[in-house]
Structure 1
């Protein structure tokens, strides 16, 4: 279950996202962290780590 405290951090009067968002789906859809890549469970977008 998603817990907002793991995805956002409040710094002063601003909200900071702690996870990477999907380039295709936009804001609010986060990429899953894997050992060698990040992937979106909604659309399948994948970013490979170096």
Structure 2
């Protein structure tokens, strides 16, 4: 994904489209899957309910 796909711009505000990894910190996004969110760097996984 390109960097522009990680953010949403509306007017003068910028919002993150995905969450940051709680282990790696800001700058490393969690990938969105159908049933989970996962970090490609450290392997952290959150399962959706």
Q: Same fold by TM-score, threshold 0.5 exceeded?
A: yes
Provide structure 2 residue ranges, at least 5 long, that are not aligned to the other structure: none
**Structure 1 residue aligned with 2:33:** 34
- Return the TM-score normalized by structure 2: 0.80
**Structure 2 residue aligned with 1:19:** 18
14-23 or 4-13, larger mean C-alpha shift: 4-13
- Return the TM-score normalized by structure 1: 0.78
- Once superposed, what is the RMSD of the aligned Cα atoms? 1.3
Provide structure 1 residue ranges, at least 5 long, that are not aligned to the other structure: none
Q: 1:24: how far off?
A: 0.4
Paired with 2:26 and 2:41, the residues of 1 have a C-alpha distance of: 13
Paired with 2:26 and 2:10, the residues of 1 have a C-alpha distance of: 19
